[in-house]
Amino acid sequence: GADICGLYEETSAQLCQRWHQLGAFYSLARNHNGGNLPPQDPGYFGEEVAEVIRDVLHIRYTLLPYLYTLMYNAHITGAPVIKPLMFEFDDDAVTLDIDDQFMWGPALLISPVLEENTTSIRAYIPDSRWFSYYDGKEVDVRANFTQLEAPLDFIPLHVRGGHVLPTQRPANTTVTSRNNPLGLIAALDDAGEARGSLFWDDGEELGSQCCLTV
């Protein structure tokens, strides 16, 4: 992922906040800038911005078991962790031109805000069942564009029906997060079914691993 908030030049508080919402879903999420430039860490922009950034990083940490499993699959099969929509919906010509939304694996749709002073976005909803990550509400649009509300403290995230995402209660670091209870997000497809997998190891040693499919 690109350096969150940019390596050169000066960003604004709002754009840096939006960039963090996007960057939380990079494979590598890192806020980093060049020398002799104004600070751009979350705390520099005040508590309100820092709280929003903290919240979205907690979402990333909650989904680390899913991300870790995607990384394992990439290692074993070469399947990309982050995908354009056309990789998953290659029979839908509309997805060929979409470059402002992306997916984690086959199951999580990310629709970031990329412009300043913007609180809603025109997003494409591919032909599948989709549910809000936040409250589980099903999206009533398929294979079409829709307007999604996206206030400054919010990034639209949707879970695809037919998939189970492993989760974990977040903490301040990945080390402490790994000691917390695991969970599942199950989103049913049209047939009322869902499948998912989990790769897990101790994070330290070779050969200490297990896999689970549900």
Residues 110-127: tens digit of each pLDDT: 999 999 999 999 999 999
Domain boundary among 9, 32, 62: 62
Total number of domains in the chain = 2
Domain that holds residue 40: 1-62
Residues 35 and 76 in one domain: no
Which residues touch 40 (CB under 8 Å, ≥6 apart)? 5, 6, 11, 16, 31, 33
Residues 28 and 43 in one domain: yes
* pLDDT confidence band for 131 (50 / 70 / 90): very high
Residues 15 and 73 in one domain: no
Residues 55 and 78 in one domain: no
**pTM for the complete prediction?**
0.94
Residues 150 and 211 in one domain: yes
Residues 40 and 94 in one domain: no
pLDDT in tens, 139-169: 999 999 999 999 999 999 999 999 999 999 9
Integer angstrom CA distances of residue 14 from 8, 104, 107, 117 = 17, 25, 28, 8
CATH number of the CATH domain containing 152 = 2.60.40.1180
Which class for 117: exposed (0-12), middle (13-18), buried (19 or more C-beta within 10 A)? exposed
Residues 70 and 163 in one domain: yes
